[in-house]
Amino acid sequence: MKKYIYLVLFFYFCFPKLYSQQDSLESDSYTLKEIEVFTDRLHDFSSGSKILSIDKKILEENQSGNLSNVLAQHSPLFIKNYSISGLSTPSFRGSGAGHTAILWNGINIQSPTNGLIDFKLIPISFIDQLTLQYGGSSSLWGSGAIGGSIHLNNSAVFNQGFTANASVSLGSFDNKQENIGLGYSNDKISISGKAFFKNAKNDFNFENTAQLGSPEQTISNAETRQNGLILNNYFKINKNQIVNLHAWYQYNDRNLPPSMTINQSKSNQKDKSFRSIAEWKIKKTKESYSLRIAYFNEELLYTDSLISLESKNNFQTLIAETEAKFEIGKNQFLNLGINNTYNSALTKNYLGLKDRNRTALFVSHHLQLFSRVIKITSSFRQEFIFNGDGPFTFSEGVETWLMKTFRFRGNISKNYRIPNLNDLFWTPGGNPDLLSENSWNYESAIAFIKCIDNFSLDAEITAFSNNVTNWIIWLPNNMSVWSPQNILNVWARGLEYDLSISKKINKFKIDVSGQYNFVRSTNEKTESANNAALHKQLIYVPSQKAMGNIRLTYKGYSLAFIYNYIGYRYTTSDNKSYLNPYQLVDIYFNKSFFIQNYTAQLFLQANNILNESYQAIAYYAMPGASYLAGISISFNQKNKQQ
């Protein structure tokens, strides 16, 4: 147990940002006694990287939201939304949609076929911790971690007795969601299950700027129906061993609305996914071992009755991973691991069943000097792909404190993304000779951190540069067949300003935070005769995103104002066409009531209160002002011996 507490303490020390957040947790009656950190690699071997942990409070108030909403509001990611119900993918630090690794309890869940995951299909209610690691970290997480990585983690709570939770929410455009959760934990086991049911008509009105006179229209074919179940179970076999079982099933049925330039759409997408992870951990005084096995089975059925299209895809993933961590002396850890990932995909778009197996060896080392004033981490990863190239990556990070107030960090890493199965096997056009995309990532930052009594301030400036080569794009080949090729070289660089201030006076608390991100992500190489795209910003990468957040907390009341500004996004590679900037203001209000074993929470949300008419992707309408209200009731019966 002590180990875990140490980890938590270590975590605080590493990321003072969390200090204020944890503080806010304590102010409420949520007493999370022990938090288990499952993805130790993130905490032990990412010194020098920028980490953003999304406040638990934000996750709580977005229990009927999805990853797309939360990251659009609270992270530097630009979320590319194909309308309200369609695909939602990120651009992290000026990178492409497949350049952000998404890990669930440390295991990558990006689709093996297109390398993406739709952020709208990840319900916030299924995540206990949401952490963003900026920049490349392929040496820790493997393929895809070029622009950054997103960690969706579940954490165990022991000795809580019986817990039950139910919530309902109602929102604009007939958006209804119900969540229910049940859990039991004593000092040996912790079991919990959560389910959600969501139905939305999404029939909002929008200004159709694609038509003469910009008439107001109602979006059609945007209905969404989702339901899911997640089970998180933890069993302590003895003092040193724990077995964790995670299972996540989800069914999504959504209609995809037409773009503004098309009158109607009859397309529908059904995604069915089952993901499971089993983990066994052994902890000893100076060493620890873990073994993970993950199995994912995903099904995607896309139909378009207008063109009688029916495309069914099924893909499966089997991952086995084992690692061993050793403490060397008092100031060093060494981690050794091996990962084997097997993917198979059955789709009409390939000629028969296609699969791929790959193995990776990874080593990480952490060194602390001068009683933790300087931390240095080094990581290496060698991937072996059956019948393909095997990228070698590494990262070297350093972090140091000056006068307990200034933190300097720096990081150099080499990262990669392997071609996905569509790139290799799509018919027609798939190119089996593709190489992995590579990136060199550099970053450094200086932070000023101050915590006095009930006041905390955290300000940071980060500069980064990320050079991606062999970037895969699809272009027609000599036979006029669209085929992927390792063509682009992209240089993304930028500056990030982060500021968060929090102040507590008796029961009143104010948190103010702001972020400003500036990214230039330019095309540095073109092979075609037309090189108008050379040195131009990539399409759908805004060079500016600014965020502001004010939260007032008093007793059980919480009021938050969330502001977002997204700058110009180009829609053509020569930067001649663009979408205008937009700003969104959201207001969240919560009130908690505590009655004996019950906690009730009332929440009201107003999104886009300025009623801004905007598009994230050209000609895909997004909703104007919308509202949501809901109530959540939790019950907790503590164990008797406590």
Min CB(25)–other proteins separation in Å: 21
610 touches other proteins by CB under 8 A = no
Distance CA 117, CA 300 (A): 12
Question: Looking only at residues 308 through 367 of this chain, which bind other proteins when binding is defined by CB under 8 A?
Answer: 308-309, 351
Binding residue (CB under 8 A) for other proteins from 182, 231, 374, 459: 459
Q: Which long-range contacts (CB under 8 A, 24 or more apart) does 565-568 make?
A: 566/78, 566/542, 566/614, 566/616, 567/542, 567/543, 568/542, 568/543, 568/544
For other proteins, the closer CB: 61 or 511 = 511
- Point out which span in 93-101, 323-331, 339-347, 512-520 binds other proteins (CB under 8 A): 512-520
Q: With binding defined as CB under 8 A, does residue 543 bind other proteins?
A: yes
CB closer to other proteins out of 107 and 533: 533
The rounded distance, in Å, linking the Cα atoms of 343 and 416 is: 18
Of residues 30, 578, 589, 635, which one binds other proteins by CB under 8 A? Answer: 578
Sole binder of other proteins in the list 287, 476, 555, 638 (CB under 8 A): 476
> How far apart are the C-alpha atoms of 99 and 94, rounded to whole Å?
9
Q: Which is nearer to other proteins, 95 or 129 (CB)?
A: 95
**195: contact with other proteins by CB under 8 A:** no
Spatial neighbors of 383 by CB under 8 A, at least 6 apart, are 142, 143, 358, 359, 360, 390, 391, 392, 393, 416, 418
Taking the complex as a whole, the smallest distance from the CB of residue 27 to other proteins amounts, in Å, to 16
Only one of the segments 108-116, 280-288, 574-582, 587-595 lies at the binding site for other proteins (rule: CB under 8 A); that segment is 574-582
Burial class (CB within 10 angstroms; exposed 0-12, middle 13-18, buried 19+) of 308: exposed
Question: In angstroms, rounded to a whole number, what is the distance separating the alpha carbons of residues 348 and 23?
Answer: 53
Contact 423, 484 (CB under 8 A): yes
Q: Out of 29, 218, 261, 311, point to the residue binding other proteins (CB under 8 A).
A: 261
To which residue do tokens 């059609």 refer? 220
d(CA 200, CA 174): 5
What part of residues 413-442 is at the interface with other proteins (CB under 8 A)? 427-428
480 is an interface residue for other proteins by CB under 8 A: yes
Q: Is 29 in the site for other proteins (CB under 8 A)?
A: no
Of the candidate spans 38-46, 95-103, 191-199, 493-501, the one that interacts with other proteins by CB under 8 A turns out to be 493-501
Helix (H, G, I), strand (E, B) or coil at 59: helix
Name the residue among 219, 259, 217, 248 with its Cα closest to residue 87.
259
Indicate whether 508 belongs to the interface with other proteins (CB under 8 A): yes
Examine residue 510 and tell whether it contacts other proteins (CB under 8 A).
Answer: yes
Does 595 help bind other proteins (rule: CB under 8 A)?
A: no
Q: Is residue 625 near other proteins by the rule CB under 8 A?
A: no
Interaction between residue 12 and other proteins (CB under 8 A): no
Interaction of residue 370 with other proteins, rule CB under 8 A: no
For residues 147 and 100, is the Cβ–Cβ distance under 8 A? yes
What phi-psi label fits residue 105: left (phi over 0), alpha (psi between -120 and 50 degrees) or beta? left
Q: Provide the 3-class DSSP secondary structure of residue 519.
A: strand
The CA distances from residue 331 to 285, 365, 371, in Å, are 14, 11, 8
CA distance 437 to 187: 47
Instruction: Name the residue nearer to other proteins (CB basis): 406 or 598.
Output: 406
530 binds other proteins (CB under 8 A): yes
Q: In the window 30-89, what residues touch other proteins (CB under 8 A)?
A: 82
Residue from the set 176, 503, 525, 591 that interacts with other proteins by CB under 8 A: 503
By the 8 A CB rule, do 17 and 445 touch? Answer: no
Q: Does 446 bind other proteins (CB under 8 A)?
A: yes
Could you say which of 478, 596, 641, 642 contacts other proteins (CB under 8 A)? 478
Residue 457 is a binding residue for other proteins (CB under 8 A): yes
Query: What angle, rounded to 10 degrees, do the helices at 2-14 and 17-27 form?
Result: 120
Query: Judged by CB under 8 A, does residue 596 bind other proteins?
Result: no
The reply to whether 475 sits near other proteins by the rule CB under 8 A is yes
Torsion-angle region of 19 (φ positive above 0: left; ψ -120 to 50: alpha; else: beta):
alpha
587 binds other proteins (CB under 8 A): no
Q: How far is the CB of 526 from other proteins (least distance, A)?
A: 7
Q: Which is nearer to other proteins, 197 or 516 (CB)?
A: 516
Mask of contacts with other proteins, 378-407, x by CB under 8 A?
Answer: ---------------------------x--
Select from 285, 479, 640, 641 the one that contacts other proteins (CB under 8 A): 479
Binding mask 83-122 for other proteins (x = CB under 8 A): ----------------------------------------
DSSP 283-322: E-SSEEEEEEEEEEEEEEEEEETTTTEEEEEEEEEEEEEE
Count of H-run helices and E-run strands, the chain: 7, 33
Alpha helices in 62-130 (DSSP H): 67-74
Instruction: Give dist(CA 317, CA 275) in Å, integer.
Output: 9
Candidate residues 12, 370, 455, 594; the one interacting with other proteins per rule CB under 8 A: 455
Residue 575 within binding range of other proteins, rule CB under 8 A: yes
